[in-house]
Structure 1
Amino acid sequence: MGVAAQTREPGVHWVRAGETVYTIARQNGIDAYRLITLNKLSAPFNLFEGQRLALTGSAVSTGETTTITAALPASSATAASDAVNLTPSTPDGAVPAARPVFTDRADEPPDHPVVAHSSMQVSPPASAGGFVWPVQGRILSEFGPKGGGRYNDGINIAARSGSAVRAADSGVVAYAGNELRGFGNVLLIKHAGGWMTAYAHNDAVLVARGERVQRGQVVARVGDSGNVDRPQLHFEIRKGKQAIDPLSQLPRPSAAATTRRDAG
């Protein structure tokens, strides 16, 4: 049945062609994160024409199944969510939630228990030379578990605001925007062999989606956008949807860069 034939219900939105979680949230004046959790949507948050979405807790469906009539084209925000896998698997019964990037603020509670991460060793990217450091600076937080059940999917590197952020390897820009909660201005680059790098908290992103970039090219400027309180770069390396410890893939840092390991 088409969207036009759907019965109007208070607190309910019927998805139309071309709409995304983010456009629907803006249109109805609610937070995209709340829309995702109310409807138990999982990354990459694909929507379908005719899909029923609750806008309020009282409108949450109790077993209704909506007929899928046509798939929507993925938006840039959907592509970003898919690329960084912001909704990791959760224990049975838990509501999937888009987890903001880990920051160095020790007083922030975790959004939910975090699982399905790995520090496994994998082969380096197929391109000659491998990854290079996106920026030089002191490491504020390394990859792995932190206190209070949090987990850092990458590393956070302190750097002066406005410093050049360089592409860690050649590739194609998969996403450039600020629609990912907690990450601020984000850049995602796809590389050969199923590799992906993510650069978050930028002051500005200097390349556009679909643009081809070269290893070492300046692609962004360091900033403090998103959920951080000092200039820094949050940097991730992923193989498929699996987060990999960047320090296992990057060359040894220069003598100018000092590393501090988090106590937990």
Structure 2
Amino acid sequence: MGASIRYGIAPFAALTLLGACIPGNNRPEPQRYADAEYRQPHDTYERQRLDDGVQQLPSAPPAWQARPVTADARSIVGNTYVVRSGDTLRAIADLTGAGSEAIARANNLQPPFVIRPGQQLIIPAGRYHLVRAGETGIAIARAYGIDWSRIVAANNLIEPYMLRVGMRVLIPGIARGKTTIEERAAAFHLDVDDILTGGEPALATNQRPARPTASSTRVLPSTAALAQPSRLRGTFSWPVHGRVIGRFGPGASGERNNGIKIAVPVDTPILAAADGVVAYAGDEIAALGGLVILKHGDGWTTVYGHASQLLVQRGQSVKKGQTVAMSGNSGLADRPEVHFEMRKGRTPVDPMGQLPEL
């Protein structure tokens, strides 16, 4: 994992860090050189400077850290239930321990899920986790030591992948041999798709997502779900201008690159490719280091990795061309570069087909 982010910073230290993260605030002049002369740093001081821990504005821990989950799923044996007068699908779910969505799927019920007295319903077998306030898909998956994508598929979750308090999530299967909390947590690996589909805390029935703020100083509580943009405004632009050194798709060694890699000098401003809202700013995905994820509406998301400094907060609204981070070589980058992804829903899209020609 990349350098960990410390919380609870003393006021003076927080102000110092904030000042260090503001572009143009006495930052040493970055070294610049042409693409043809682009090289990996060899000087010891330069390497140490590039490898320093990711700097971030003082912020709340991610919701999946702030609200851990207890793996207490209830095992349900498949059976049938005869609907009685006054029953609702939610009440039947509470009574049987199965998920209302799973019951609806098993019986081909369509919204608004009307049921009638005397109707016989199939109650599907499985292990069901009751979602509590503030829990996230990531924390649920981590508690059971399985990929969140498997839970998404097992429950037919769709965008915006928002869990609700009281929902019973079907757990498709616990990793074999993983018996302790630590073993299950170690079996879970966080990726961009997890953050996009399982990073938001569950909403209560009468609760609304928090509206974004334009200020980087307002820290959105971890327990607050974030309202997402509904529509994409305008077109996309390049986050940085540099040489593309990694293309979208399968690499030479067979690994898949879900974006492109752009070589730029260290401390190059990384710009928002379009208007959007910050869905994540942190360094919990080891390979990508300092990472910012923006949501833009119409299912579009952009991802900016290998940053040395993060200048925005989760829940902050940003404008196209606004600086969201400073480039570096954090994570598994072997040179100063920006990892840039674009996604439509959960599907990675080649940025070269969406960005203007240089």
TM-score (norm 2): 0.42
Counterpart of 1:81 in structure 2 is 194
Q: 2:233 aligns with which of 118, 123, 127?
A: 127
Tell me the distance in 1 between the aligned counterparts of 2:315 and 2:255.
33
Cα 1:152–1:78, aligned 2, differ >3 Å: closer, same or farther?
closer
Q: Deviations over 1:109-156 (max 9, x none)?
A: xxxxxxxxxxxxxxxx8522x111100111110111112321111100
1:140-151 equivalence runs, <5 A: 140-151=245-256
CA contact (8 A) 1:44 1:78 kept: no
Counterpart of 1:42 in structure 2 is 149
**Counterpart of 1:147 in structure 2: which amino acid?**
A
Q: CA deviation at 1:207?
A: 0.5
Tell me the distance in 2 between the aligned counterparts of 1:219 and 1:235.
13
Counterpart of 1:180 in structure 2 is 285
Q: Deviations over 1:173-199 (max 9, x none)?
A: 111111123111110101021111000
Q: Deviations over 1:34-80 (max 9, x none)?
A: x87x545437888x9999997993639xxxxxxxxxxxxxxxx8986
Tell me the distance in 2 between the aligned counterparts of 1:157 and 1:84.
26
Q: Deviations over 1:5-34 (max 9, x none)?
A: 99xxxxxxx999556698799xxxxxx7xx
Q: CA deviation at 1:84?
A: 7.7
Q: Deviations over 1:85-117 (max 9, x none)?
A: 9xxxxxxxxxxxxxxxxxxxxxxxxxxxxxxxx
Gaps of 5+ in 2: 1-69, 74-128, 153-162, 181-189, 199-230
Higher helix share: 2
**How many pairs are equivalent?**
180
Counterpart of 1:57 in structure 2 is 177
**Counterpart of 1:81 in structure 2: which amino acid?**
D
Counterpart of 2:319 in structure 1 is 214
Cα 1:79–1:152, aligned 2, differ >3 Å: closer, same or farther?
closer
Q: 1:227 aligns with which of 313, 324, 332?
A: 332
Pairing 1:158–2:263 present: yes
**Counterpart of 1:166 in structure 2: which amino acid?**
L
Cα 1:44–1:199, aligned 2, differ >3 Å: closer, same or farther?
farther
Q: Deviations over 1:205-259 (max 9, x none)?
A: 1000110000000110001111111110000011111111101010112xxxxxx
Cα 1:40–1:138, aligned 2, differ >3 Å: closer, same or farther?
closer
CA contact (8 A) 1:44 1:82 kept: no
Which protein shows a greater Rg?
Answer: 2
SS at match of 1:81: helix
Tell me the distance in 1 between the aligned counterparts of 2:293 and 2:169.
30
CA contact (8 A) 2:242 2:262 kept: yes
CA contact (8 A) 2:71 2:140 kept: no
CA contact (8 A) 1:80 1:174 kept: no
Q: 1:191 aligns with which of 287, 296, 318?
A: 296
Cα 1:84–1:55, aligned 2, differ >3 Å: closer, same or farther?
closer
Cα 1:80–1:174, aligned 2, differ >3 Å: closer, same or farther?
farther
Give me the identity figure in percent: 38
**Counterpart of 1:251 in structure 2: which amino acid?**
P
CA contact (8 A) 1:79 1:174 kept: no
Cα 1:215–1:44, aligned 2, differ >3 Å: closer, same or farther?
farther
